[in-house]
Amino acid sequence: MLLETSHWISLIAVGVSAGFIDAVVGGGGLLSIPALLSMGIPPHMALGTNKLAACFSSFTSAVTYFRQQFFTPSLWYHCAIATFIGAVIGSTIVLMIDNDWLVRILPIMIITVAIYTAFNPNAIGCKNTQVPQSKPNKLYQWITGFAWGGYDGFAGPGIGAFWTIS
């Protein structure tokens, strides 16, 4: 699939904007996935492209939070394992879904998450971030890690909003 020059320019502009938004408040995938789909890029490829960019964003965020001592990785060991398992299952499921169905499902998911994020003030940013005073509940870590990992592996746009409130 070859894209015209104007499509490349549009995708670069959206990519820069999505990267900036992702760095500031998260949710860059809410812009990048629709842009990729609107250019005729198949859904699986659009999700994979977005996930590659999101990996860099997530890594940078994790390093920043670690340096600012907002979290202690050893306390979140169970959550990391559950997230990995959920992500593997979510990405396996999305690979089983036909492109025609994904083209219908993804816009609904993106619009739903965008509305949720827009109307939930706690979903944007970490205004009152505090270091946990006690060790997080293991069951809670497994449930949220698995659920958010599954969603992130399946589609992922707006996942930062879910992590922020959890």
pLDDT tens, residue by residue, 52-70: 888 888 788 788 888 888 7
Q: Is the pLDDT of residue 23 over 90?
A: no
* Helix, strand, coil % in the chain, rounded to nearest 5: 75, 0, 25
Q: Is the pLDDT of residue 129 over 60?
A: no
Q: What is the pLDDT of residues 3-14, one digit of tens each?
A: 788 888 998 899
* Whether the model pTM is above 0.85: no
Long-range contacts of 88-93 (CB under 8 A, 24+ apart): 88/153, 89/149, 89/150, 89/153, 90/149, 90/150, 90/151, 90/152, 90/153, 90/154, 90/155, 91/153, 91/154, 92/153, 93/153, 93/154
pLDDT greater at residue 163 or residue 111: 111
